[in-house]
Amino acid sequence: MFITGLLLGADTAPHLGAPWQLLAYRGGTLFGAAVDGARDCGFDQLVVTLGGASEQIRDRVDLDGVRVVESPHADTGSASIVPALDAVDRRADGIVVLLGDQPGITSAAVWSLVAEVATPIGVCRYDDGESFPCWFGRELFGELRELRSDADLWNPIRDAGHPVTRVDAIGNVPPRATSWATYQQLLSGTPGRPEELHPARPSAYARRRRRAAP
Protein backbone atom coordinates (compact mmCIF):
# COMPACT_ATOMS: atom_id res chain seq x y z
CA MET A 1 0.00 0.00 0.00
CA PHE A 2 0.99 3.60 -0.60
CA ILE A 3 0.12 5.61 2.51
CA THR A 4 -0.07 9.39 2.84
CA GLY A 5 0.10 10.96 6.28
CA LEU A 6 -1.91 14.17 6.68
CA LEU A 7 -0.98 16.36 9.65
CA LEU A 8 -3.52 19.12 10.31
CA GLY A 9 -2.05 22.36 11.64
CA ALA A 10 -3.99 25.17 9.99
CA ASP A 11 -6.56 26.03 12.64
CA THR A 12 -6.27 28.66 15.35
CA ALA A 13 -6.89 28.46 19.08
CA PRO A 14 -7.52 32.05 20.27
CA HIS A 15 -7.58 31.02 23.93
CA LEU A 16 -3.99 29.74 23.56
CA GLY A 17 -2.69 32.79 21.76
CA ALA A 18 -1.42 32.92 18.20
CA PRO A 19 0.10 30.82 16.96
CA TRP A 20 -0.45 27.78 19.19
CA GLN A 21 1.80 25.75 16.90
CA LEU A 22 4.86 27.51 18.34
CA LEU A 23 4.14 26.87 22.01
CA ALA A 24 7.16 25.45 23.82
CA TYR A 25 7.29 21.67 24.02
CA ARG A 26 10.23 19.47 25.01
CA GLY A 27 12.89 21.91 23.97
CA GLY A 28 11.22 22.78 20.67
CA THR A 29 7.72 23.66 19.53
CA LEU A 30 4.45 21.82 19.84
CA PHE A 31 3.94 21.60 16.09
CA GLY A 32 7.57 20.72 15.48
CA ALA A 33 7.16 17.71 17.78
CA ALA A 34 4.06 16.62 15.89
CA VAL A 35 5.88 16.94 12.54
CA ASP A 36 8.83 14.91 13.86
CA GLY A 37 6.44 12.24 15.13
CA ALA A 38 4.74 12.07 11.74
CA ARG A 39 8.12 11.76 10.02
CA ASP A 40 9.01 8.86 12.31
CA CYS A 41 5.99 6.97 10.97
CA GLY A 42 7.73 6.55 7.62
CA PHE A 43 4.78 7.49 5.43
CA ASP A 44 5.25 7.26 1.68
CA GLN A 45 4.16 10.91 1.59
CA LEU A 46 3.64 13.46 4.37
CA VAL A 47 1.31 16.42 3.82
CA VAL A 48 0.98 19.23 6.36
CA THR A 49 -1.63 21.99 6.41
CA LEU A 50 -0.83 25.51 7.63
CA GLY A 51 -3.11 28.50 8.10
CA GLY A 52 -2.66 32.20 8.74
CA ALA A 53 0.49 31.74 10.84
CA SER A 54 2.25 29.87 8.03
CA GLU A 55 5.17 32.28 7.69
CA GLN A 56 6.01 32.20 11.39
CA ILE A 57 5.75 28.42 11.53
CA ARG A 58 7.96 27.96 8.46
CA ASP A 59 10.60 30.12 10.14
CA ARG A 60 10.75 27.94 13.25
CA VAL A 61 9.67 24.44 12.28
CA ASP A 62 11.72 22.13 10.05
CA LEU A 63 9.42 21.19 7.17
CA ASP A 64 12.08 19.72 4.93
CA GLY A 65 10.71 16.90 2.78
CA VAL A 66 7.11 17.71 3.74
CA ARG A 67 4.43 18.78 1.26
CA VAL A 68 2.93 21.96 2.76
CA VAL A 69 -0.60 23.03 1.84
CA GLU A 70 -1.62 26.58 2.64
CA SER A 71 -5.14 26.94 3.97
CA PRO A 72 -5.49 30.53 5.23
CA HIS A 73 -9.28 30.33 5.54
CA ALA A 74 -8.97 27.57 8.15
CA ASP A 75 -8.57 30.41 10.64
CA THR A 76 -12.28 31.10 10.15
CA GLY A 77 -13.27 27.44 10.49
CA SER A 78 -13.12 26.11 6.93
CA ALA A 79 -11.76 22.61 6.32
CA SER A 80 -8.03 22.51 5.55
CA ILE A 81 -8.40 18.87 4.59
CA VAL A 82 -10.25 19.89 1.40
CA PRO A 83 -7.28 21.63 -0.32
CA ALA A 84 -4.93 19.05 1.23
CA LEU A 85 -6.62 16.25 -0.73
CA ASP A 86 -5.43 17.89 -3.95
CA ALA A 87 -1.84 17.36 -2.76
CA VAL A 88 -2.26 13.65 -1.97
CA ASP A 89 -0.23 11.47 -4.32
CA ARG A 90 -2.41 9.77 -6.92
CA ARG A 91 -0.85 6.44 -5.90
CA ALA A 92 -2.11 6.73 -2.32
CA ASP A 93 -4.55 4.05 -1.19
CA GLY A 94 -5.68 6.33 1.60
CA ILE A 95 -4.66 8.86 4.23
CA VAL A 96 -3.80 8.62 7.91
CA VAL A 97 -4.95 11.83 9.61
CA LEU A 98 -3.02 13.24 12.57
CA LEU A 99 -3.42 16.46 14.57
CA GLY A 100 -0.71 19.05 15.06
CA ASP A 101 -1.71 19.65 18.69
CA GLN A 102 -1.53 15.94 19.61
CA PRO A 103 2.19 15.06 19.47
CA GLY A 104 1.89 11.93 21.60
CA ILE A 105 0.57 9.72 18.80
CA THR A 106 3.02 6.89 18.19
CA SER A 107 4.16 5.18 15.02
CA ALA A 108 3.01 1.91 16.62
CA ALA A 109 -0.57 3.22 16.77
CA VAL A 110 -0.35 4.41 13.16
CA TRP A 111 0.92 1.16 11.73
CA SER A 112 -1.38 -1.02 13.81
CA LEU A 113 -4.22 0.99 12.31
CA VAL A 114 -2.90 0.62 8.75
CA ALA A 115 -2.19 -3.10 9.18
CA GLU A 116 -5.60 -3.96 10.61
CA VAL A 117 -8.01 -1.63 8.83
CA ALA A 118 -10.34 -3.58 6.57
CA THR A 119 -12.93 -0.91 5.79
CA PRO A 120 -12.97 2.56 4.17
CA ILE A 121 -12.67 4.15 7.63
CA GLY A 122 -10.48 3.21 10.57
CA VAL A 123 -10.08 4.75 14.01
CA CYS A 124 -7.88 4.01 17.02
CA ARG A 125 -9.59 2.72 20.16
CA TYR A 126 -7.66 3.61 23.30
CA ASP A 127 -8.39 2.49 26.86
CA ASP A 128 -10.52 5.59 27.51
CA GLY A 129 -12.03 6.32 24.12
CA GLU A 130 -11.53 6.75 20.38
CA SER A 131 -9.22 9.28 18.79
CA PHE A 132 -6.61 9.92 16.12
CA PRO A 133 -4.92 8.61 14.08
CA CYS A 134 -7.77 7.88 11.70
CA TRP A 135 -7.74 6.16 8.32
CA PHE A 136 -9.76 7.21 5.29
CA GLY A 137 -9.51 5.14 2.13
CA ARG A 138 -9.37 6.82 -1.26
CA GLU A 139 -13.02 5.91 -1.85
CA LEU A 140 -13.91 8.41 0.91
CA PHE A 141 -12.09 11.37 -0.66
CA GLY A 142 -15.21 12.62 -2.44
CA GLU A 143 -17.16 12.80 0.82
CA LEU A 144 -14.24 14.39 2.66
CA ARG A 145 -14.32 17.22 0.14
CA GLU A 146 -17.82 18.07 1.41
CA LEU A 147 -16.63 18.74 4.97
CA ARG A 148 -17.06 22.28 6.19
CA SER A 149 -14.44 22.14 8.95
CA ASP A 150 -11.65 19.83 10.05
CA ALA A 151 -13.68 18.96 13.16
CA ASP A 152 -16.23 17.39 10.80
CA LEU A 153 -13.77 14.56 10.14
CA TRP A 154 -15.59 12.68 12.88
CA ASN A 155 -18.90 12.89 11.04
CA PRO A 156 -18.28 10.02 8.58
CA ILE A 157 -17.23 7.89 11.58
CA ARG A 158 -20.22 8.54 13.81
CA ASP A 159 -22.92 8.84 11.15
CA ALA A 160 -22.69 5.15 10.16
CA GLY A 161 -22.62 5.75 6.42
CA HIS A 162 -19.69 3.37 6.03
CA PRO A 163 -18.32 0.44 8.01
CA VAL A 164 -15.60 1.43 10.48
CA THR A 165 -12.68 -0.65 11.72
CA ARG A 166 -11.79 0.11 15.33
CA VAL A 167 -8.21 -0.85 16.11
CA ASP A 168 -6.99 -1.20 19.69
CA ALA A 169 -4.17 1.16 20.70
CA ILE A 170 -2.08 0.97 23.85
CA GLY A 171 -2.87 3.32 26.73
CA ASN A 172 -5.15 6.33 26.99
CA VAL A 173 -5.97 8.90 24.33
CA PRO A 174 -2.89 11.09 23.76
CA PRO A 175 -3.69 14.54 25.19
CA ARG A 176 -4.26 17.54 22.94
CA ALA A 177 -3.41 21.19 23.56
CA THR A 178 -6.85 22.74 23.07
CA SER A 179 -6.74 25.11 26.08
CA TRP A 180 -4.20 26.31 28.64
CA ALA A 181 -5.38 23.55 30.95
CA THR A 182 -4.93 20.82 28.36
CA TYR A 183 -1.61 22.32 27.26
CA GLN A 184 -0.36 22.00 30.84
CA GLN A 185 -1.82 18.51 30.91
CA LEU A 186 0.15 17.70 27.78
CA LEU A 187 3.37 19.06 29.30
CA SER A 188 2.84 16.99 32.45
CA GLY A 189 2.06 13.80 30.54
CA THR A 190 -1.38 13.37 32.08
CA PRO A 191 -3.77 11.32 29.88
CA GLY A 192 -6.26 13.28 27.80
CA ARG A 193 -9.99 12.98 27.21
CA PRO A 194 -11.51 10.91 24.39
CA GLU A 195 -13.16 12.52 21.38
CA GLU A 196 -16.91 12.94 21.57
CA LEU A 197 -18.46 10.54 19.06
CA HIS A 198 -22.11 10.56 20.09
CA PRO A 199 -23.75 13.97 19.65
CA ALA A 200 -27.24 14.56 20.99
CA ARG A 201 -28.64 15.18 17.52
CA PRO A 202 -27.61 14.21 13.97
CA SER A 203 -24.82 16.32 12.50
CA ALA A 204 -25.38 18.59 9.51
CA TYR A 205 -23.31 16.12 7.52
CA ALA A 206 -25.73 13.31 8.38
CA ARG A 207 -28.77 15.44 7.56
CA ARG A 208 -27.32 16.32 4.14
CA ARG A 209 -26.65 12.63 3.41
CA ARG A 210 -30.20 11.70 4.34
CA ARG A 211 -31.69 14.40 2.11
CA ALA A 212 -29.53 13.22 -0.77
CA ALA A 213 -30.52 9.56 -0.33
CA PRO A 214 -32.91 8.15 -2.99
User: pLDDT by residue (tens digit) across 105-120?
Assistant: 999 999 999 999 999 9
Supply the pLDDT for residue 193: 52
Supply the pLDDT for residue 191: 59
Q: Cβ contacts of residue 110 below 8 Å, gap of 6+?
A: 5, 41, 96, 98, 133
Contacts of 108-117 with CB under 8 Å at 24 or more apart are 108/169, 108/170, 109/133, 109/169, 109/170, 110/5, 110/41, 111/41, 112/167, 112/168, 112/169, 113/167, 113/169, 114/1, 114/3, 116/165, 116/167, 117/165, 117/167
Supply the pLDDT for residue 77: 65
12-63 per-position pLDDT tens digit = 776 777 789 999 999 999 999 999 999 999 999 999 999 888 999 999 999 9
Residue with the larger pLDDT of the pair 79 and 116 = 116
Q: Count CB neighbours of 61 within 10 A.
A: 24
CA-closest candidate to residue 130, choices 163, 182, 167, 156? 167
Supply the pLDDT for residue 185: 86
- pLDDT of 157 over the 80 cut: yes
- pLDDT of 82 over the 80 cut: yes
pTM: 0.86
Residue 194 pLDDT class (50, 70, 90 cuts): very low
Residue with the larger pLDDT of the pair 78 and 37 = 37
Kindly state the average pLDDT of the residues 126-146: 94
